A and B are shown apart, each in its own frame.
Chain A
């Protein structure tokens, strides 16, 4: 299994390379440049700017220069925010975005999985309907709807929490954003855990465990839970993707100075290095977490590794 894991880690680099290449191609091939909106820039000035940033060279040359910079860990300067390099910008925003994402995932796991287990164990037709309803709502309430609604209730009407913004070291500003990001995920995890556990509890090996006289609690914890969590673990991959993309909206809704706005604003401004940097960082994080999720699957059920 270790060999497979290492092979998967090694496969990250080529995939990342493809991501870089495809993004580079898409961004450069699009019309418009970073200096189109320069006030009062004559063509000569614009040509000069392009020369300074190396944008006048043929594309393959620019591509190789960029790769060489990457190898050194240099993402290049930001074309719009001229006093900063891309690394500095991302470095400033990433801690907040990472905190947001990790807290949301943690909250979703802590609330989603146990509630799913509880729902599976508490069999009643009314509970089933309630759970189906919550599940349906979870899909129909996107984060950019939940966010403002939560802000409306808790920020404007009840005044318990700030509506938006961020103050360093004041966690109350993170409560609503984390909640917004975690709720749909928790609903999905809860549904998944419940369905999966129900199915496992019907399996023959559980029946034989009970027949052997094992107590219900032991049957549950020791035998049924591990295979039941397998679909949940494999859902963690898409869940990470959801958190990554969802954080864009949550940061926009709550005005958090994370990295999310860099992608959107960078794409609008044609700030090539910034957009590339964002794509690479987020792409790498997504790949990494997908790998971790796969490893978790492998730990839960080693059978999945022998594909």
Chain B
């Protein structure tokens, strides 16, 4: 039986050797850092209208490194803001959905019997709903553009799979001796939950977490593209791409800049997630 420390150091070693994941991590760090810090260095804010330079291609106008949009707003700054917003929303939504999912799955797995059945049946029914519809309905019906509501709506979708994973893990853990010992010692159920089960299911959950963040970014961009997520003048990668798609015939850079940013963000997150998954659970390809 491998000790917990063995698993993590093994995983770290495997991750270090995975070149794709390392590149992804570097790229991700660069993007996150740029998104957080770079706007400080630019003379433009994300909603400053530069009347002298409307819809200029990259590199042609003063200090507008990636050009401007139809209203004269600097594209680089807006894209970085979009990256920041997407990342923050995605991480927030992922954190909430993981929290709910882990608790739900652990409680269901620990309780067992009819409680477990009822809880998982609820998950199954929600699973069969076309989830995006629920998200669309939720975001349009409550204050449109409110970022908190958006994050909650996104989280409402993500917790289902986490709950399933955690429940399976909990069921497997339930049969282990240390849980029997804890119960025999009289440890109360909530302490068993928090002290024993949750730490031990965090492994697969951590891996899933890295894959859920890009999914959240995708949902949010999706919604913003449809006009339901982040509203103007705030910049999200989704609504930047939407605006860019409309100008595509005359000003292709307005589409390409945020599109490339989104693709790089998603790619690096997914590669990192894949690397983490392989590090924790290596399989022959």
Closest to B266 in A: A140
Are B129 and A19 in contact, CB atoms less than 8 angstroms apart?
Answer: yes
Are A145 and B141 in contact, CB atoms less than 8 angstroms apart?
Answer: no
Residues of B with C-beta under 8 A to A275: 137
**How many residues of B are counted as interface, with CB atoms below 8 angstroms from the partner's CB atoms?**
43
Are B248 and A136 in contact, CB atoms less than 8 angstroms apart?
Answer: no
Are B263 and A141 in contact, CB atoms less than 8 angstroms apart?
Answer: yes
Q: For chain A, what secondary structure do more than half of its interface residues adopt (helix, strand, loop), or is it mixed? A: helix
The 8 A CB mask of A214-253 against B (1 = contact, 0 = none) is 0000000000000000000000000001001100110011
B249 interface residue per 8 A CB criterion? yes
Given contacts A30-B142, A148-B241, contact A142 B218 (CB under 8 A): yes
Are A139 and B266 in contact, CB atoms less than 8 angstroms apart?
Answer: yes
Of the candidates B226, B244, B264, the one having the most CB atoms from chain A within 10 angstroms of its own CB is B226
Given contacts A136-B270, A140-B266, A145-B259, contact A249 B222 (CB under 8 A): yes
Residues of B with C-beta under 8 A to A279: 130, 133, 137
Q: Complex Cα distance A278/B252, Å?
A: 35
- CB contact between A145 and one of B130, B134, B228, B262 (< 8 Å): that residue: B262
Q: For chain B, what secondary structure do more than half of its interface residues adopt (helix, strand, loop), or is it mixed? A: helix
Residues of B with C-beta under 8 A to A286: 128, 130
B4 interface residue per 8 A CB criterion? no
Closest to A282 in B: B130
B225 interface residue per 8 A CB criterion? yes
A23 interface residue per 8 A CB criterion? yes
Are A32 and B222 in contact, CB atoms less than 8 angstroms apart?
Answer: no
Are B228 and A283 in contact, CB atoms less than 8 angstroms apart?
Answer: no
Contacts A/B (CB < 8 Å), 14 sampled: A31-B142, A32-B141, A137-B267, A140-B214, A140-B262, A144-B245, A148-B244, A152-B248, A152-B255, A245-B132, A264-B140, A278-B133, A279-B130, A282-B130
Q: How large is the interface on A (under 10, 10 to 19, 20 to 34, 35 or more residues)?
A: 35 or more
The 8 A CB mask of A146-160 against B (1 = contact, 0 = none) is 011101100010000
B184 interface residue per 8 A CB criterion? no
Are B248 and A156 in contact, CB atoms less than 8 angstroms apart?
Answer: yes
A22 interface residue per 8 A CB criterion? yes
Are B222 and A142 in contact, CB atoms less than 8 angstroms apart?
Answer: yes
Given contacts A136-B270, A245-B130, contact A148 B227 (CB under 8 A): no
A residues lining the B interface (CB < 8 Å):
15, 18-19, 22-23, 26-27, 30-32, 128, 132, 136-137, 139-142, 144-145, 147-149, 151-152, 156, 163, 195, 241, 244-245, 248-249, 252-253, 263-264, 267-268, 270, 275, 278-279, 282-283, 286-287, 290
Residues of B with C-beta under 8 A to A245: 130-133, 222
Are B263 and A27 in contact, CB atoms less than 8 angstroms apart?
Answer: no
Are A144 and B133 in contact, CB atoms less than 8 angstroms apart?
Answer: no
Are A142 and B221 in contact, CB atoms less than 8 angstroms apart?
Answer: yes
Q: Complex Cα distance A288/B238, Å?
A: 31
B175 interface residue per 8 A CB criterion? no
Given contacts A15-B128, A139-B270, A142-B222, contact A31 B141 (CB under 8 A): yes
Q: Complex Cα distance A270/B245, Å?
A: 27
B136 interface residue per 8 A CB criterion? yes
Since A148-B255, A252-B225 are in contact, a sample of 15 more A-B pairs with Cβ atoms closer than 8 Å, ordered by chain A residue number, is A23-B137, A136-B267, A139-B266, A142-B222, A144-B222, A144-B242, A145-B259, A145-B262, A148-B244, A248-B132, A249-B222, A249-B226, A264-B228, A268-B140, A283-B133
Min distance, Cβ B226 to any Cβ of chain A, angstroms: 5
Q: Complex Cα distance A292/B138, Å?
A: 29
Interface residues in B113-164 (C-beta closer than 8 Å to A):
125, 128-134, 136-138, 140-142, 144
Are A248 and B266 in contact, CB atoms less than 8 angstroms apart?
Answer: no
Closest to B267 in A: A140
Are A290 and B128 in contact, CB atoms less than 8 angstroms apart?
Answer: yes
Residues of A with C-beta under 8 A to B285: 128, 195
B271 interface residue per 8 A CB criterion? yes
Min distance, Cβ A261 to any Cβ of chain B, angstroms: 9
Min distance, Cβ A10 to any Cβ of chain B, angstroms: 15
Residues of A with C-beta under 8 A to B226: 248-249, 252, 264
Min distance, Cβ B153 to any Cβ of chain A, angstroms: 11
Of the candidates A15, A128, A142, A241, the one having the most CB atoms from chain B within 10 angstroms of its own CB is A142
